[in-house]
Each structure stands twice: as C-alpha cells, then as structure tokens.
Structure 1
Amino acid sequence: MDRETLVMTPGPTALPEEVREAMARPIENPDIEPAFTEFYRDLLGKLADVYDTDDDLVVLAGEGMVGLEASVASLIERGDTVLCLANGIYGAGFADLAELHGGEPVLHEVPPTEGFDPEAVRETVEEHDPGVATMVHCETPTGVLNGLDGVLEILDEAGVLTICDAVSSLGGVEVPTEFIDICLGASQKCFSAPPGLATLSVSEAAWERIERVEQCSFYLNLEPWRDLDFEEPPAAFPYTHSVSDLYALDAALDRLLEEGIEDVFERHERAAERCRERGRALGLEPFAPASASSTVTAFSVEDATDLQRRVAEEGVVLATGLGEYSETILRVGHMGYNADIERVDRAMDALATVLD
C-alpha cells in the first residue's frame, strides 16, 4: 500500500484521529435538544481558554473568511472611516471588505517584510480619525508574523475599535487579545479541525457599536449571537449550526488544552526552527527571517509551482505563495497537528529529494 500523502499546507491541516472520530458522532438537533446547548456553552469555555480572554466568544458556520466579513459588516456603516493596516494580501483585502460594506478605507501600507511603526500609525489615526481599524497577525502567504502590541495600545488609547485576523496564528503562537475588539480564528488552521467554522472573540465595546450600527445582513450580523440563552436550553441559535464541525472543533480544543497552551506554543517554535534549519541546509532562506511565524515557513524559491508539483510526487503536499509571490514562495505549514518534528522532517526529506 502506498504511504499516505502528507498534507503540510498552512491550512487546512491534517486531522488527528480523535478529531475525525468526533465528527462522525451521531448528531443532536441544536434547535430542540437541550444537551446541545450545554455542549456549545462548554465549547465556548474551552475556546476562551485558548484565546486567553474574558470577552464573549462566537462560532459561525462558514470558512474563516465568513468571520472577517461578519466583523466588518457588523461594525461598519456607510461612510465610516476604516483604517486598514496592510503588509500583505489579507491586510489589503480588509480594505476591499470595508468598501464593499459602505466604509471608506484608509490603507496604511508598508512593505511585506516590514512591521508597523506605532508612531506612524498614530499619525495616520490623528489625520483620519477612524472608528475602526483592521489588521492581520500572521500574513500566511508570506509567513510574516506582525508584532502588534504597540499598535494596538495606540488604537486603544484613541478609542479605535480593532478587528484582527489571527486565523493563521491563534492556537499556535501567542495572540495579543487584550486590546483586540474582534479577534478572528478558523477551525482548519492551528486548531487542526475540518474547514467550516470561524471563531470570534467580541469585546463589550464592539457589542455596543454593533447595537448602534444599522445592520444590512442577516447571516453576517453578529448581534443575534449575543442573545443566546444558555440558562434555559435549548438556545435559540440564529440558524441551524454545523453540528458535526462543532464536535470536531471540541475534540481539537481538548487536544490543545490537555497539552497545555504554552507547551503548544513551544512545540510550534521547535517545528519552525527544524523546518528552517533543514531549509538552510538545502540553500533555502525564509522570505522574512526576522519576522517569520512559528506556524508557517515561506521559502524564497525560483519556480514554486514546479517544486510543489515535484514534491507532491514524493507524497507531500506544500503550498505556493499567492498573488505576486505565487512563483517565488514555497510554503511549509507546520501548524496545529503538523507542528511535529517527524512530519516536518518528512516534508523536508521530500523537498531535499526534489532539489537533489
């Protein structure tokens, strides 16, 4: 029998056996059975431990992008000024979402290998007086992890609500949730659950703005999720939830919490170090070594698509870059279940075979 293909992309990740088994459980009806309400309430408690936050938690049915758009749709009204911090595709993409929902985006853009200067951000805030700011913690296409602490403090002092895409970092590296009003995650990344769920932490200040904003969407409106009554189940969910996906996410969260979140972070660091050590031995350098994330390594290469195809012939699936970097970046995802030395070594062995 052929060896099982190893998927080492930066999401979706491979799934642990217990997560796959959890997804196969007989389902409960979330709209009728009280036991499901209790299960969902407990799941939110586990999610809060991973987020390290006392803010409310929401889980939406839909891939991670639904969380990004729901946060923008719920916080922004027509004519609102929205500050979009960008050093990559997803940061710039927030500006498109803001404009789509009637906002007036102000793009504060820096080169992809550079972080955000807090003082430069302060100047932009003073000039444009935004009500909401968006940013990305880990720009997955380039493997860049943005240090946001100083920026978040400035935005908080100015009373600017913040939306942070932490989809590719949450559960793999520490996320500065203290000053983030809506922090976004997704099931298929560091949680190593199937694609299909977006997770959001929502601050009290964000809820207050959501209640004031004239909502123009049903599915993307976060407001109904605040009113779930866990005391008298069954809770009245805004729509029928993705039960099997939630079972899988619950099992994935159990794995993280049983290991201990600090140990999880250290495991990701070790996997990243091993990947880059092996890459340098092959003559490959990370795209942005000074700010490379512990969840994904983006190697600078000459023909990413060809390398991806040839590595796949060795039984390992890797990802290329996106946009202008689609042919010059090859990405190894070492996040979640794949943040494992043996898995990293197998991926790099395949890459070594191809390069040799």
Structure 2
Amino acid sequence: MLMTPGPTAVPEPVREAMSRELINPDVDPRFRELYGRLTERLATAYGVDPDDDGVADGSDDAARDVVALGGEGILGLEAAVASLVEPGTEVLCLSNGLYGEGFADFVESYGGDPTLVAAEHDEPLPLDALDDALAADDADFDLATMVHCETPTGTLNDIGSALDRLEAADSEILTVVDAVSSLGAVPVPTDRIDVCLGASQKCFSAPPGLATAAVSDRAWAAMDERDPHSLYANFLPFRDVSDGFPYTHLTTEVVALDAALGLLLDEGLDAVRKRHEAAAARCRERGAELGLETVPGPERSSPTVTAFEVPGRASEIQERLREDHDVILATGLGEGAGDVLRVGHMGHNARVDRVEETMDALAAVL
C-alpha cells in the first residue's frame, strides 16, 4: 500500500481512464476540449470560478488563468522563476525548508539576485525577519517566493501572514507560492497570489506528469516584459492555446488528471478537506500512542502529511514496513533524511481506514 506524500496512490477510475485509446493532442480536436475541461476543473480546485471568466469573488484582482504544463511538479517552480526572473531581478525567498531554499537556487541559475530569508526546517516562517528585509533601506524586491506545505517536514506554513506583510510593504511585489502539496486538500488564498503552483501527483492522486499554475494578469504582463528564453520552462506559450500547444502534450496524464479532478469535485472540496483533517488527526493520535513526535508540532503540521521523528531509524523502519507489511512510506529529505519517517495521508489516501492499516503496521515494526 503506497502511503507516501506524493506520488500518491492512483484510484481505479483514474487508471481506467488512462487505459482508453490514445488521443493525438496535435491533430484531434477532442484533446483541446479535454484540456479546456481540465483547466475548468483546476480553476475550481484553485478557488477560481470558471463560470465567471476566472473571477473568484467578483473583482478583477481575483482573475486567474489556469494552465497545465507537461512535466513533474518541480517544473512549475522552475518555470515560475524562468518566466519572471532575468539578470538583476531582486527576489525575496522566504523559507523554512528544502523547497523554499530551492527557489533561491533557481533564481541564481536564471541570473536573478535572491535574498534568502530563512528559518530552521522545524521552525515557522521567519515573519519578523521578513519585516526587517522589507524595511531595509535598499529593499527593492520585484518578486517573493514561498512554500505553503513543506513536504519534507510535514509543515503547513502561515502564508496568509506573509502575504499580509508583503502587501503592506510593497503591493507591486509579485508573489509565487508552491502549493504543490496542499492544493486540493487545504484552502489556498489563490486570489492573493500571482503564480500559485500545483501538480498532478499530490492531493489530486493522478500520476506525476503535470505541473499546474494559476497566473494573475500582472504576472502575465511581467512575463511579457521579460521574454523568457526557455520554451519548456515557460508559462507564456500556454496562455493561449487556441491555435495549438507549444509541444506535444502529455495526453495520458491530461486524461488522468481530468478524471482525478472529476472524482474530487464530485465529492466536494469541503468534504475532501474534512477527510484530510480526519485522516491527519487519526495518524497523529496513533503516533502519539506509539510515543512518536511530529517534526513541526501538531499545530503546524499539514493535513496532507505527517513527519514523525525517528532518529537514525527512518531507512530501517521504511524497509521493514515495505518487506514485512507491504506498506510504503517515505523518509525525510536532505540533512534529516535518516531521522524522519513520513506518512502521506494525501489525496486518495486521506482515509482513516488506510491510516489505521498503516499505523498498525508501524506499531508492529516498532
């Protein structure tokens, strides 16, 4: 049983959809219809009303175009930077984890000038340090990046407070948020974010292969001004696909994500979120019974993933769970890889019965 925080288990109706006859995306008009339905469903998941020209709350400020690029979720992070950063672009990278820090690496690789405002991986976002960076005499940021759910530590970040500070300091700063591991299971303030990133293989429970984004008008304008040099790591070619796609799209992955979103929306976003909360609560309750502590503490842990502290034992426990119980969990990433064991109660796997089976196996191993 796959209980990792992405890729997640793919439900049978999605697998069945993938097995149907292939649609050629370059010549078959049915593919454009399929892609259009996919982006409408994505808009609903993002909280943008597809029936109101992409406007979620009746204001132009909330308008977003939703796109789906062919590539694993990390493509979205790089494409956001590649589309908005050029030599000399000043970028504030707010971080308390591996992916937050990774934004700074992308910025450097595209010639930008990153300012990393970082906390330790088990700490909250450094909001006081953010205030200091924004108030500095030489502060002149074009862009700010942050991560909603830092999957390696199971941390759900308070991005609302960070956005408040950015808007108060300089409303012209564009914002990029990695919501890859929260979108579809946790409310995301998409209407306050210029580029909000998602992916197929996390809470949507489709296979890895599509990077998604909701993009504001002012972000599109900034991309037009910068004229990105990459074709693949570039959102602009997907802004208008009425005359075709920039490359042969990943047809089967589009079919899969469309089917997965259909299941999610049939269930209802509120019901899906409650299901994630219930699964997370039970996972942590069972963990506490086993004497396990979570990395960031329960008040900052994400409904999509629980990271348990198992100093020095993560790989051993992971192997025994896989070999003896056919349960697959993930270890940590980066420096703490050997000290963290992660349970992904995310997407299709956010179900109490699956959590119970997983924790029964973990109890037997421990």
TM-score where L is the length of structure 2: 0.92
Equivalent-residue separation in structure 2 for 1:163 and 1:175 (angstroms): 12
User: Where does residue 232 of structure 1 map in the other structure?
Assistant: none
Q: Which runs of 5+ in 2 are unaligned?
A: 49-53, 55-63
Whether the aligned pair in 2 keeps the contact of 1:164 and 1:180 (CA below 8 Å) is: yes
Count matched residues.
345
User: Where does residue 262 of structure 2 map in the other structure?
Assistant: 254
User: Where does residue 212 of structure 2 map in the other structure?
Assistant: 199
Whether the aligned pair in 1 keeps the contact of 2:117 and 2:126 (CA below 8 Å) is: no
Whether the aligned pair in 1 keeps the contact of 2:194 and 2:216 (CA below 8 Å) is: yes
2:238 is aligned with 1:225: yes
Deviation at 1:220, TM superposition (A): 1.2
- Structure 1 segment 25-40 matched on structure 2, within 5 A: 25-40=20-35
Q: Which range moved further: 172-181 or 243-252?
A: 172-181
User: Where does residue 351 of structure 2 map in the other structure?
Assistant: 340
TM-score where L is the length of structure 1: 0.95
Q: Deviations over 1:105-147 (max 9, x none)?
A: 0000012233235454233123222101111000000000001
Whether the aligned pair in 2 keeps the contact of 1:61 and 1:198 (CA below 8 Å) is: yes
Q: Deviations over 1:202-227 (max 9, x none)?
A: 00010000000032211112111112
Q: Indicate the SS of the match to 2:233.
A: coil
User: Where does residue 324 of structure 1 map in the other structure?
Assistant: 335
Q: Deviations over 1:146-177 (max 9, x none)?
A: 01112113323411101111111111111121
Please tell me the residue identity of whatever aligns with 1:226. Answer: R
Structure 1 counterpart of 2:318, from 300, 308, 319: 308
2:306 is aligned with 1:297: yes
Please tell me the residue identity of whatever aligns with 1:257. Answer: L
Whether the aligned pair in 2 keeps the contact of 1:301 and 1:330 (CA below 8 Å) is: yes
Q: Which runs of 5+ in 1 are unaligned?
A: 1-5, 230-234
User: Where does residue 225 of structure 2 map in the other structure?
Assistant: 212
Considering only aligned residues, what root-mean-square deviation do their CA atoms show, in Å?
Answer: 1.1
Equivalent-residue separation in structure 2 for 1:90 and 1:20 (angstroms): 30
Equivalent-residue separation in structure 2 for 1:71 and 1:140 (angstroms): 19
Deviation at 1:310, TM superposition (A): 0.9
Deviation at 1:36, TM superposition (A): 1.5
Structure 2 counterpart of 1:68, from 74, 77, 83: 77
- Structure 1 segment 91-170 matched on structure 2, within 5 A: 91-127=100-136, 128-157=139-168, 158=170, 159-170=172-183
Q: Indicate the SS of the match to 2:92.
A: strand
Q: Indicate the SS of the match to 1:326.
A: helix
Q: Indicate the SS of the match to 2:252.
A: helix
Equivalent-residue separation in structure 2 for 1:227 and 1:329 (angstroms): 43
Runs of 4+ residues over 6 Å off in structure 1: none
User: Where does residue 245 of structure 2 map in the other structure?
Assistant: 237
Q: Which range moved further: 38-47 or 122-131?
A: 122-131
Whether the aligned pair in 2 keeps the contact of 1:86 and 1:108 (CA below 8 Å) is: yes
Identity of aligned residues (%): 54
Equivalent-residue separation in structure 2 for 1:200 and 1:335 (angstroms): 20
User: Where does residue 59 of structure 2 map in the other structure?
Assistant: none
Q: Which range moved further: 110-119 or 123-132?
A: 110-119
Whether the aligned pair in 2 keeps the contact of 1:113 and 1:291 (CA below 8 Å) is: no
2:296 is aligned with 1:288: yes
User: Where does residue 50 of structure 1 map in the other structure?
Assistant: 45
Equivalent-residue separation in structure 1 for 2:340 and 2:156 (angstroms): 16
User: Where does residue 60 of structure 2 map in the other structure?
Assistant: none
